[in-house]
Amino acid sequence: MLTRVKSAVANFMGGMMAGSSNGDHLGGSDLPLKFPYSRPEFLGLSQDEIECSADHIARPILILKETERLPWATGYAEVINAGKSPLNEDQACCEVLVLKKRHVGSSTPNRTPTSRRRSSLPNGEGLGPRENTDCEGLTLHYWAMFDGHAGSGAAVVASRLLQHHIVEHLQEVWDVLQNPSVPPPTCQGEEPTNHHLTPTSHRALTRAASLRGAAGAPGSPCPPPTRFFTEKKVQHESMVIGAIENAFKDMDAQIERDKMVFNISGGCTALAVIFLLGKLYVGNAGDSRAIIIRAGEVIAMSTEFTPESERQRLQFLAYMQPHLLGNEFTHLEFPRRVQRKEVGKRMLYRDFTMSGWAYKTIEDDDLKFPLIYGEGKKARVLATIGVTRGLGDHDLKVHDSNIYIKPFLSCCPEVKVYPLTQYQHGADDVLVVGTDGLWDVLSNQEVNEAITGFLAKCGPDDPHRYTMAAQDLVMRARGVLRDRGWRIANERLGSGDDISVYIIPLMHGNRQT
């Protein structure tokens, strides 16, 4: 089994290095691409510039040519990996969309034309959700990042389509979003009421009321029956969260369907930021990260989903459905690989019910390879993949077996909400969104210090300050090429992964209401 595991890792890494010129033909697929490989549309790169950006030796940092291409003066920068994969597997998308009431027979989201985005008030401030509510609908600002693995196919597709799924689900709750002071109905088209009682349940309630009356004081009137069915209070932001969650699921399902007719390689993590009605919604499925820097303090807006952070969920799934392990893996975790000579001895272990450790007597079944093996960035699920949430990966199997990985990978995001307009933000308060290539080498505090220090040197009215800050951050994480590879501060090893970064100034969000 150990030999197979080594082969699995080598095959997975080799698959990332292999491929045709578009980087998406892991197995030499003859199917056409759904979307061609490219860099984010808002960068405005020519084909020659896209080819130059794939230089794994120079690793040029790409930034916006025109800062007005993105709303809120958002800064963006990216750099390709140091040879891990042929092309940059990170993808990014940023759009301003108008959310309108869905009409019968219409399913296409209303995308704000690029020309209008560029000609609006500075950096999109004139597209506020309140001022256009009656005549045009609600304005939605959208930023997203996708970190692909085993090819860029899934990341490219998700970057083109996820926002449309989000808008489609938000349109379903249009009436709720238009009336934030009115609680959402529990059933569309009806007033909130108790559930209808069947004759049997009605008799049961009547009998219960009679029993309560019989237990009272003699001669006392029978008290009115208490309300048996109560309505749950649902907040409006929960409706937005639900729309984002369903959009991720729909996106994943679409990738699975489209793989039947298109070459869509691998999978991808996904992190989306939506600004709607004064609130920021950050939906994350994977190991990218978003943090808010406000007055020099860090507020985490996402959680990384890795084999270690989701150990108990994965172990519980394997415990409930052991056939998913193909009789080759064990759902139990041990501090190290168990050897045959240790059968009958006691060793530390833990399962899905435990956060701590305890001893158990080793049995033959414990000699199987663990469901989760390795630590930190080397931790793998079924000896194959290092992320546990994302989109795609429907065909991914353990090397040389029929054991599918997808049942253990969730497409559901965790959505966190930040009430942006409830706070007054300064010019240096920002939301930082980055793929794991950034966070692998820089901590939250290091990013905080880097951005705070850089922005302090820039004039608050400089339209390029956030783009330059993003460029500086990517440069810090990439480092400088030396004899011993890419190095960052204190001669630490720099990031050899693809790196993509948004820096979104929060003060512009205060102008949207």
Q: Domain with 290 in it: what CATH number?
A: 3.60.40.10
Domain termination residue (choose one: 368, 385, 402): 385
How confident is residue 222, by pLDDT bands cut at 50, 70 and 90? low
User: Is 6 within a domain?
Assistant: yes
Widest distance between CA atoms in the chain: 97
> Is 220 contained in some domain?
no
Looking at the structure of the chain, the number of domains it has is 2
Could you tell me if 353 and 488 lie in one domain? no
Q: Which of 101-105, 213-217, 340-344 has the highest mean pLDDT?
A: 340-344
What is the per-residue pLDDT across 360-393, written as a single tens digit (0 to 9) for each? 999 999 999 999 999 988 999 999 999 999 999 9
Q: Is residue 145 part of a domain?
A: yes
Query: Who's near 134: CB < 8 A, 6+ residues apart?
Result: none
Rg of the chain's alpha carbons, rounded to an integer?
26
What integer best gives the mean pLDDT of the chain? 84
Q: Kindly state whether residues 24 and 151 are assigned to the same domain.
A: yes
In a domain, 25, yes or no: yes
> Which has more pLDDT, 396 or 130?
396
Higher pLDDT, 276 or 228: 276
C-beta of residue 325 within 8 angstroms of C-beta of residue 371: yes
Q: Let me know whether 289 and 325 are in one domain.
A: no
- Indicate if the alpha-carbon torsion angle 458, 461, 464, 469 is positive or negative: positive
* CA–CA dist 33, 204 (Å, integer): 61
**117 and 165 assigned to the same domain:** yes
pLDDT reported for residue 150: 92
With 50 as the cut, is the pLDDT of residue 105 above it? yes
Please give the share of the chain, as a percent, with pLDDT higher than 90: 68
Are 345 and 299 members of one domain? no
Q: Can you list the alpha helix ranges (DSSP code H) found in 342-443?
A: 436-439
Which residues make beta-bridge pairs with 291?
Answer: 300, 432
> Which of these, 358, 361, 357, 364, lies nearest to 339 by C-alpha position?
364
Let me know: does 22 contact 263? Beta carbons within 8 Å: no
Domain end call among 366, 385, 404: 385
227 falls within a domain:
no
Q: Over the stretch 398-448, which tens digit does the pLDDT of each residue have?
A: 998 999 999 999 999 999 999 999 999 999 999 999 999 999 999 999 999
Query: Does residue 333 surpass a pLDDT of 90?
Result: yes
How many angstroms separate the CA atoms of 510 and 504, rounded?
13
Same domain, 316 and 428: no
Same domain? 29 vs 114: yes
Domain of residue 289: give its range.
Answer: 2-180+234-305+412-512
For residues 169 and 300, state if they share a domain: yes
Does residue 358 fall inside a structural domain? yes
In three-state secondary structure terms, 160 is: helix
Question: Residues 29, 22: contact at Cβ < 8 Å?
Answer: no
Helix axes 444-456, 465-478, angle to 10 degrees: 140
Distance (Å, whole) CA 155 – CA 145: 9
| DSSP string covering 76-107 | EEEE--SSSSSS--EEEEEEEEEE-PPPTT--
* Domain-located, residue 226: no
Asked if residue 212 is part of any domain, the answer here is: no
Q: Residues 97, 158: one domain?
A: yes
Are 269 and 159 in contact, with CB atoms under 8 Å apart? no
- 458 and 367 belong to one structural domain: no
SS3 for 503?
strand
Question: Is there a single domain that holds both residue 88 and residue 112?
Answer: yes
For residue 147, which of 137, 139, 158, 136 has the smallest C-alpha distance?
158
Is the domain of 91 the same as that of 170?
A: yes
pLDDT at 513 over 60: no
Compute the half-sphere exposure of residue 198: CA atoms within 13 Å on the CB side of its CA. Answer: 2
Tokens of 122: 């500075």
